[in-house]
Amino acid sequence: MWLLLAAILLPLAIFYYKRRQKRYEEVWKHIMAIPGPKAYPVIGCSYKSFTPESLWDEERDRAKQFYPIYKAWTFDFAFVVIMSPEDMESVLTNQKQNTKNFIYNFLHSWLGTGLLTSGGTKWQKRRKILTPAFHFNILHEFTDSLNKEVQILVDNFKELCHQPYVDVTKPITEFALYAVGETSLGVSLREDPNCEEYKKAVHDYAESFIYRTSRPWLFFSFIYKLSPAYKKEMKIVETLHNFTTNVIKEKKKVFGKDVDYDQRKKLALLDLMLKAQQDGAAIDDEGIKEELNTFIFEGHDTTSGSIAYTLMLLANNKEAQEEIYREIVSIIGSKQSPSYSDLSELKYMERCIKESLRLYPSVPVIGRVTGEYIKSQSGYTIPKGCIINLSIYDMHRNPAIWENPEKFDPDRFLPDNIAKRHPFAYVPFSAGSRNCIGQKFAMLELKATLCGILRNFRLEAYDRPEHIKHKSDIVLRPAGEIRVTFISRT
């Protein structure tokens, strides 16, 4: 069947390709002028079969070879990858470049058109509704819930610390998921028997996403829906949606009880959306589900990765680890748990977190489609309607921007050193109007977690940074474990 389908589709693809090339001759003229990897007629750069691991390595090699800009194309799809601070700024500060590219459409089966994937008026309205959920007062109130979850995590590590090492990814992921539930959702996910299935489904969905994005013939929906991969994805999505639907159902049972809903700016995310719906805002049940799917995913999967990488880096940099410990002792002393104000004063810890996010940004690449022509810093023209990928990971590690970029050095984030750099050389949470809405929440969670762990343990290196392999994913994901040795301070 597939051979017959290929025999029919190949001539059609060639005809379609030539016709599109002619129709958009001016656009392709600019794209083809940009340097890029070896390509062949029609298939372009898609002459290799990639695993998620080899795709990651290939993209890193291309970034080193073609910095600050390159193109890759196949059929009539062309991607321009930018990596310089100047080009990042020209895109991220321009409202005409705010639309996400079509690759984000592949997330619609799970996330719908929520804050991550939507654009235009819908995105603006949703952003306005959700922004109060990350108000200073809300973050302040989250601290006790975070400390409670951190203590459970610490107790978990106490049971594991007799082992030669701990793969921190699993316990940290569980912690981050439960922390999102206790804070932004106001529900206890720890009591949900489907959590384990949900976490597996998140990883399975990401693999499905990369499988499709690395096979250009599956870009076409009518072909993808004929493939076994589509049926597999639908089963995964069912698991993901069932989990979120159950969270909303449980929340609605207690919604409105013992809560002053007139204090709108002090409502957590799920309460805020339910109250907004009640008040007639432009968000229905499906919209609440979209945003909840988006935030549960982004709120736990990105943050858990950041915590795991930071623990590994601190295990490999004992001086920085002990400096953080001294800072914790100085500011928090013998108090059982840090307050929001205490966490805000941990300035050296914050520099270490920022340096970790430079080396391991939670989302390594973000995508846009150009709303007007762009002149790149290196002199190339990126035409209107072009798919662009902003490679944050590669910019953060480029020696043209960062001296000795592979070295962990928190002093890069001293005020004097920040002032010397281009303001868009460091964008772990993106930038501009579409920056990460939850970045302050993420920083609070990272600080609370490090505070709890480092007060109780010394970390020793088991894995070194150069030994950590990665794979292409929706977020930054290790190909294997992240192993750290825990030594009790008591």
Mark the binding-site residues, compressed into ranges.
436
In this structure, how many other beta carbons lie within 10 angstroms of the beta carbon of residue 131? Answer: 12
In this structure, are strands 483-488 and 457-461 parallel, antiparallel, or unpaired? antiparallel
Q: What is the largest CA-CA distance in the chain?
A: 74
Beta bridge partners of 368: 388
Quote the tokens at residue 364. 């390594």
Binding residues for heme: 436
d(CA 180, CA 441): 10
Q: What are phi and psi of 74, to 5 degrees?
A: -160, 145
**Residues 251 and 185: beta-carbon distance below 8 Å:** yes
- Characterize the bridge pairing of strands 69-74 and 483-488: unpaired
Q: DSSP assignment of 205-236, as one string?
A: HHHHHHHHHT-GGGGSHHHHTTSHHHHHHHHH
Phi, psi of 112 (to 5 degrees): 60, -145
Identify whether the C-beta of residue 339 lies closer than 8 Å to the C-beta of residue 452. no
**79 strand-pairing partners:** 72, 387
Amino acid of residue 365: V
Tell me if 188 sits within 8 A of 181, measured CB to CB. yes
Contact, 484 vs 462, CB < 8 A?
Answer: yes
Nearest Cα to Cα of residue 290 among 111, 100, 437, 119? 111
Find the distance separating the first CA and the last CA of the chain, reported in whole Å. Answer: 66
The DSSP secondary-structure symbol of 430 reads B
CA angle, 360 then 480 then 216, to 5°: 75
